[in-house]
Structure 1
Amino acid sequence: MDHLRRAVILPLLLLAALLGFAFALWSMAVVALGAQHILSAGPEPDARLFTGPCGGRISTAVLRDATHGDTVVTKLGYEHLRRHALRHTALTWFADAGVHVHVLRRIAGHGSLTTTQRYLHPYVHKITAVGPALSAHFNMPRAPPP
């Protein structure tokens, strides 16, 4: 018998419970780490929450290498996917959720609203819904001014 390698059969429910517990522990650790970073950032609103290996900003190359991003997207069959496209997606989703463009500019770190606007790619149904929404706004009954 090989004492270094054993198979243990667990009932499915027990396995699910153990995995759930492990995920809960991992989640708590991530939250605790995030809270620690927030507290250490201090009151400075532009302080970095996470920093790179040398204390500076985290570059996309560091993220790519740490997550093996290129390998993952290739194995998933999305070779055309680029990390920078995710910035466009995230900013578009923020805008669709109602975040104002001047706030998006700050989030993205852009110096100009024009740059931020280039990142926004609204869905066609969002564009076509503007007309009826504006009509509904103008057709709302209003109380006469006092």
Structure 2
Amino acid sequence: MSNGVELTFTVDSFASLTGADCTGSAFAGPLDKQFLRVDLVVRTGETVPADYTSIFDTFLWKVRGDDGVVIDEAAMEEDASYCLSVEEDGADLDTWETNSIYNASFVVPQQGPAGTVILEPSDYVSTDRFELRY
């Protein structure tokens, strides 16, 4: 909660997939590339942000493999942002209603068999940093 605004999110699941599993019609990435699907649930409270268009944007997510290699703007790598069909992407997280639940999914490249998915929102939105192991 910041300035009276309530917004929580959870990562519902991680799922490994390859480029061959991608269902997006615009996907043109490598079919043998290892990806990680991230399913989010976002909940709003009584007060929602007027503009949080950049809190969950794909360019804010990073992936760090246990080998130390970091992929910045991970969803933009290897056509990952095109992997899912529009239906699978889920909710558009650009606008918010009070007391609502949104489900959304996105895909990032998997950097090795184990690593960390990182979200760093813009400083004007939040100074928090979120990390989750896969």
Q: TM-score range by the shorter chain?
A: under 0.3
Structure having greater relative contact order (Cα 8 Å, sep ≥ 6)? 2
Between Structure 1 and Structure 2, which shows a larger proportion of strand residues? 2
Which protein shows a greater Rg? 1
What is the TM-score when the length of structure 2 is the normalising length?
0.22
What is the TM-score when the length of structure 1 is the normalising length?
0.21
